[in-house]
Chains A and B, each alone.
Chain A
Amino acid sequence: NAGVTQTPKFQVLKTGQSMTLQCAQDMNHEYMSWYRQDPGMGLRLIHYSVGAGITDQGEVPNGYNVSRSTTEDFPLRLLSAAPSQTSVYFCASSPRSLETQYFGPGTRLLVL
Chain B
Amino acid sequence: SQQGEEDPQALSIQEGENATMNCSYKTSINNLQWYRQNSGRGLVHLILIRSNEREKHSGRLRVTLDTSKKSSSLLITASRAADTASYFCATIYSGGSNYKLTFGKGTLLTVNP
Contacts and interface: CB of A to CB of B under 8 A. Distances in A.
Are A and B associated in one complex? Answer: yes
Interface in B6-48: 31, 33, 35, 40-45, 48
A51 B104 CA distance: 26
B105 A41 contact: yes
Contacts, number: 58
A103 B44 contact: yes
Contact of B104 (A31, A42, A56, A103): A42
Interface residues of A, number: 27
A48 interface: yes
Contacts of B78: none
B103 A43 contact: yes
A31 B33 CA distance: 17
B102 A45 contact: yes
Given A40-B105, A43-B88, A103 B42 contact: yes
Nearest to B44: A103
Contacts of A92: 42-43
Interface residues of B, number: 23
Contact of B45 (A31, A42, A90, A102): A102
Interface in B38-92: 40-45, 48, 88, 92
A100 B100 contact: no
Interface in A59-112: 59, 90, 92, 97-106
Q: From A35, A43, A56, name the one whose CB has the most chain B CB atoms within 10 angstroms.
A: A43
Contacts of A43: 43, 88, 103
A74 to B, nearest CB: 13
A5 to B, nearest CB: 11
Given A90-B43, A101-B45, A106-B42, A42 B99 contact: no
5 contacts: A41-B2, A44-B103, A45-B100, A100-B45, A101-B43
